Structure 1
């Protein structure tokens, strides 16, 4: 208990999945948390659940595609709890029906994902950093994705925006480090959130598991605990980094599972 005691955190996209895990863990460890989400009802429900457990949280509406909405979320956090010392830019969208290969991608979807996945991160930092300076420092954590470093046959916009988030993270860390403001990213692999369980076919799940170095899938808390660490003073000398949390899925030659199967057959 108390790893982020008395810190004030804004978690965007906090009504479910990784964001919900993050908000819950931050509150459990002593932070006052604002949960901002397009699903306002879900954000308020999450905050009530946290309060029921005798921790502090508030749920509000956020449209991450709208600049004014992001500013209002940051201002609300400061007006409610007096400051902001932790910002978790967790909102991210993908649409596998429209976010296709370069030739066939829906250009409107390309622009929408740039706004929601990338520009929202810039704006969250823009509005939070002046308050963090007044507070004497802070920690910004951006939720990225392994799609930001490993390409795919579709999701061109999603992967491109996440790659940009990775580099933006370094820029923020470089520009505001002397103000004791740290900025890091977390890049999840396949994480079995309720959305992933609902939308990803079992055959794909099995194929991911086959290529993981570890014998299990990731869960939302695996990312939540990583963000908690980066929000805490335990990571006070870490900035400008993107931590891959992906079960070793991307570390080995892709032929490794086939090679292992071949060796088992010969033994």
Structure 2
């Protein structure tokens, strides 16, 4: 099935990152006008230059309410409207990933920092986008959560719970604003082969995840970006309030799949 995003003004937060940059490229190929919003302004500008006249770059600090408001205002000043926001930015640095363990050993500052960006920042971005989309009578919000929000884990208690909150926030928006022409969905990536993710993931842990993935490969940023682009299109107009796990089936099987599967291999 083909679909079009012709003329749809789209903000992608974390737009210069591994998944975000691919979302920008693929949505751009389908005709969207792109706002590349990222804390790394140089990388955002480089991507906007690559995309050409259909894109602009904005420096965004998702922990700052003023920065989020400025992102929306700049988008309206340049493009005159806002049709889609893909809230993809998150606090997931290598250093934070190392510190984000279990609750017993959780530093309060790390917990607060994670929620300030992942949950509070996403909420503010949604709120400010809704202030534009509601008078228009149309709009699409896509929030990036994580398959880690679906089950318990030995580590990443702050990250996973912050993303679980994002899923519920998405359902709330779909419920409160659906009759006003606004759709909201969440995308839940599994381990995705971005340079950042692979840089801090120990090789043995990566092998374990690969074993528990039902597909014979890990996902790529393009796998996530294609889903985001479709959900932003009018062809997905009847889809709202949903949480789509794009994780190669990691989240659907019983524990111990990798070990059990060895008994059934020929």
User: TM-score scaled by structure 1?
Assistant: 0.95
Displacement of 1:255 in angstroms is 2.3
CA drift at 1:256 = 2.5
Gaps of 5+ in 1: none
Give the drift of 1:133: 2.0
Residues 188-209 of structure 1: CA deviation (Å, up to 9, x unaligned): 0010011112111222221111
> Contact 1:12–1:19 at 8 Å: present in 2 too?
yes
For 2:219, what is the secondary structure of its paired residue? Answer: coil
Does the 8 Å CA contact 2:187/2:246 hold for their aligned counterparts? yes
Query: CA shift at 1:134, angstroms?
Result: 2.7
The answer on whether the counterparts of 1:100 and 1:106 sit within 8 Å (CA) in structure 2 is no
1:221 is aligned to 222
Task: Tell me what 1:167 maps to.
Answer: 168
SS of the aligned residue for 2:172 comes to helix
Q: Which residue does 1:138 correspond to in 2?
A: 139
Mapped partners of 2:158, 2:89: distance in 1: 15
Matched, 1:65 2:66: no
Unaligned runs of 5+ in 2: none
Give 1:137-216 correspondences, 5 Å limit: 137-216=138-217
Question: Could you tell me how far apart the structure 1 residues matched to 2:225 and 2:97 are?
Answer: 25
Partner of 1:260: 261
Distance 1:2 1:155 in 2: 36
TM-score scaled to structure 2, two decimals?
0.95
* In structure 2, C-alpha distance between the alignment counterparts of 1:112 and 1:263, rounded to whole Å: 45
Q: Does 1:101 align with 2:102?
A: yes
Q: How many residues align?
A: 262
Is the 2:87–2:144 contact (alpha carbons within 8 Å) kept by the matching residues of 1? yes
Note the C-alpha offset of 1:13. Answer: 0.4
Range that drifts further, 250-259 or 162-171: 250-259
1:103 partner SS? helix
**Distance in structure 1 (CA, Å) of the matches to 2:227 and 2:66:** 29
Which of 62, 79, 99 pairs up with 1:81? 79
